[in-house]
Amino acid sequence: MALSPDLIKKYNQPVPRYTSYPTVPFWENNLEVAGWERLVKKAFDDFGSKEGISLYIHLPFCESLCTYCGCNKRITKNHQVEEPYLEAILREWERYLVILDETPKLNGIHLGGGTPTFFAPESLEFLISKILKSTELSSEYEFSFEGHPNNTTYEHLLELAQLGFDRVSYGIQDFNPEVQKAIHRYQPFEAVEKATDWARISGYSSINFDLIYGLPYQTKETLQDTFEKVGQLRPERIAFYSYAHLPSAFPAQKSYEAHLPNEREKRELYEFGKDLLIQMGYEEIGMDHFALPSDPLYLAKNEGKLHRNFMGYTTLSSKMLLGLGASSISDVWIGFAQNEKKVEDYENLANQHQIPLIKGHQHSLEDLEIRALILDLICHSSGLIPESIWEKLPFENKERLFEMEGENLLKLTNRHLQISEDGMAVVRNICALFDLRMEEQREKKANFSKAI
């Protein structure tokens, strides 16, 4: 079944995406640099030294602006920016090594952007090899990167494969020329096919395509053509994201406002695309994600080991994720921190061997309970509401839960919450009912995308 038009209208409200809890706008910002360093050391001593850590490295440069994109990026064709930026990342990493005070075990690296393949293969080799020399690899490490099909070369793929990378994610979004023109993301099918073939020849075990529904000029006919092309290449994973229209934050999005589908049409595009993916043999993993049954993401879902962090769904359950680079977010389970967003400010602080912190949040015990619940709901479609959280829920939020139960979106039994298949369409709305940080700061105007 699909959501009725009335339910779509009712629940298509701005809510967080819940890649974290608390979400960034509701952090207390109760951590200065020294406090963050103490928190990192405590987390490492308590569990990171044994479990291992993961790294997210933000590479923000792009040669052109894609108007749908909400990431932190710097548009430039000047590749002289590569070396000083990577040197700053390494200095930031050196500071973390001093804080950890022992050689860390490395579970994973993810290169995000921006466009990581903006950087030359030899530049990426310089960065990663330096990091690898200062760490010990865990037995089941996982290295991945995001690539633009137009500039991901065979040399990029080979160089990174030799360093241990075997997962790549390509930002496709849509194959229709009219849609691509509107969002300023020009990439012919032939370029994607070549980048996919090169990845397989280079030994990559998992390829992901990012696709978006709700873009300007999209119809069921154009989406069917896109998915037919996807079917020819058959990536192991697909992220099928909802387009987030936030023109107040990203003014370039105003250029195609008149050509966006309405909320009912947008939801129909998702249901249509989901049906096509299931017909093609993909399984729905969680909010926005699909995988072939042979992929580790699907196996993690079935085994109850699926995890979610700032990068989306993952098989890596490391409690420590250190973010390097401008605007990167670190998560050490008991707290969050975000780096300076502006490249120049980031480089200046990192070059002084300082953690370039712009904001941070140390979790309370209540935060940790809610975080665990939200993770269960988003990863496993069910969870036990802690008694202490249930008691603190506003009466209206409890009423909304019972209302959702009457709409067959969830089932609530003795504080155990089970989300139905239809209910997963509004899982962000369900999680928001437990977001006590958001309840406390209702007056704060946070710019969230709509749920559906």
Verify cis geometry, omega within 30 degrees of 0, for the bond prior to 247.
no
Please state, in angstroms and as integers, the Cα–Cα distance from residue 438 to each residue in 336, 350, 448, following that order. 17, 32, 12
- Does 210 carry a binding-site annotation? yes
- Asked whether 128 and 109 are in contact (CB, 8 A), the reply is yes
- Asked whether 307 and 379 are in contact (CB, 8 A), the reply is yes
- Does 329 carry a binding-site annotation? yes
- Does 66 carry a binding-site annotation? yes
Q: Residue 4: phi, psi to the nearest 5?
A: -70, 155
- Does 70 carry a binding-site annotation? yes
The amino acid sitting at 43 is: A
- Does 62 carry a binding-site annotation? yes
**Beta strand segments in 266-380, E:** 283-286, 289-291, 307-309, 312-314, 321-324, 329-331, 335-339, 357-362
What's 111's DSSP letter? E
**Beta strand segments in 296-425, E:** 307-309, 312-314, 321-324, 329-331, 335-339, 357-362, 382-384, 410-413, 416-419
- Does 185 carry a binding-site annotation? yes
- Does 108 carry a binding-site annotation? no
- Does 379 carry a binding-site annotation? no
- Does 173 carry a binding-site annotation? yes
- Does 422 carry a binding-site annotation? no
- Asked whether 104 and 44 are in contact (CB, 8 A), the reply is yes
Those residues with Cβ within 8 angstroms of residue 348's Cβ, 6 or more apart along the chain or in another chain = none
CA nearest neighbour of 320 among 31, 29, 36:
36
As given in the structure block, the two tokens for residue 397 are 């939020």
β 53-59/321-324 pair status: parallel
The amino acid sitting at 180 is: Q
> SS3 of 334, please?
coil
CA nearest neighbour of 354 among 135, 134, 103, 91:
91
- Does 103 carry a binding-site annotation? no
Give the Cα separation of 356 and 342 in Å (integer).
11
β 165-173/136-147 pair status: parallel
Give the Cα separation of 27 and 243 in Å (integer).
25
| Annotation: binding site for [4Fe-4S] cluster | 62, 66, 69
| Annotation: binding site | 56, 62, 66, 68-70, 113-115, 146, 173, 185, 210, 244, 329
| Annotation: binding site for S-adenosyl-L-methionine | 56, 68-70, 113-115, 146, 173, 185, 210, 244, 329
